[in-house]
Amino acid sequence: MTRTSKSPTGVDAMKQADNQEPGRLILMKPSSSKYQEIQTLFHQGWKHPEKFTPKIKAIFLIAYPHERLEPYRKYRANVERANRSEGGSNEQFLFHGTARSCSLGDDKTCVLLCSRADCYLCCIIAKSYDVKKCGTRHKFRRFGAGIYTTACSSKADDYFHSWLQGFKCRVILVNRVVVGKACQRRYNAIDLTKPPPGYDSVVGVPGADLNYEETVVYDDNAIHPAFLIAYTDSAESQPQSRAAALLSTLFKTPVAS
């Protein structure tokens, strides 16, 4: 696989995807409308008040050949037909955080997938999601054996982990998810292996057992990774403390925070 120095817009990159091998990352231009859409979703979804909003370093489109996405397209079309009068496929961009064992996304040239079995990030990009692997890292499954995503980017960030020391940035996946007709639940349902009859997914609603929303699908074809966001650790974005700012103003000298 060769690196590319050209950064297509979202539309151009998607056109290129038909000729790319599975899981190739294409750096997106900040001026592109799709970049700005994903950036807005990331910032609007950062809801944890104790976590400072990080700075996005790069957004990559994950390019796949046409045939690789065919199962997802067929699943989406089936859900669209079944729910024609109730919101159709209800496709959404949702976040997923996972473990990484390499430097993928650390800078704009780190775009090659690794082959390590413990790099869940590269495994997902290369092979997509596998509901059978639910609970590999986190044994507690609030809504049973499914694939978990969320509109809350700061919640997805909680699940990012790097096995490498000294990594340069954090990364989370943005996925296309066919939510379809969602069954909303406020309480845990750990024994689920599929949505309740008549539904396509389960959405956890904050207020009882959850603090932040999460969406669960139970079919591998209901989701595929679409973008990778690389961003600074939120601690690096922490503004100067009020006390430090006051002392700095009083004494006109820099104060270490």
CATH number at residue 58: 3.90.228.10
- pLDDT band, residue 247 (cuts 50/70/90): very low
| Domain annotation covers residue 50 | yes
Is the pLDDT score of 158 beyond 60? Answer: yes
- Given strand 56-63, what is the order of strands in its sheet? 24-27, 56-63, 223-231, 170-178, 91-96
Q: Are strands 201-204 and 182-185 parallel, antiparallel or unpaired?
A: parallel
Structural domain including 89 reads 10-251
Tokens encoding 19: 């000729």
| Domain annotation covers residue 2 | no
Taking the model in full, what pTM does it have? Answer: 0.83
DSSP character at residue 106: S
Q: Which residues of 121-142 are buried (b: 16+ CB within 10 A; e: fewer)?
A: bbbbbeebbebeebeeeeeebb
C-alpha atoms less than 13 angstroms from C-alpha of 205 in its C-beta half-sphere: 6
Is the pLDDT score of 233 beyond 60? Answer: yes
Q: 167-186, pLDDT tens digit by residue?
A: 889 999 999 999 999 999 99
| Domain annotation covers residue 1 | no
- Quote the pLDDT of residue 243: 43
One-letter amino acid for residue 50 of the chain = E
Name the least confident of 1-15, 35-49, 142-156.
1-15
| Domain annotation covers residue 3 | no
- pLDDT band, residue 111 (cuts 50/70/90): very high
Q: Which helix (H) or strand (E) holds 25?
A: strand 24-27
Is the pLDDT score of 241 beyond 70? Answer: no
| Domain annotation covers residue 256 | no
- pLDDT band, residue 21 (cuts 50/70/90): low
Give me the chain's average pLDDT, please. 85
Is the pLDDT score of 218 beyond 70? Answer: yes
| Domain annotation covers residue 105 | yes
Domains in the chain: how many in total? Answer: 1
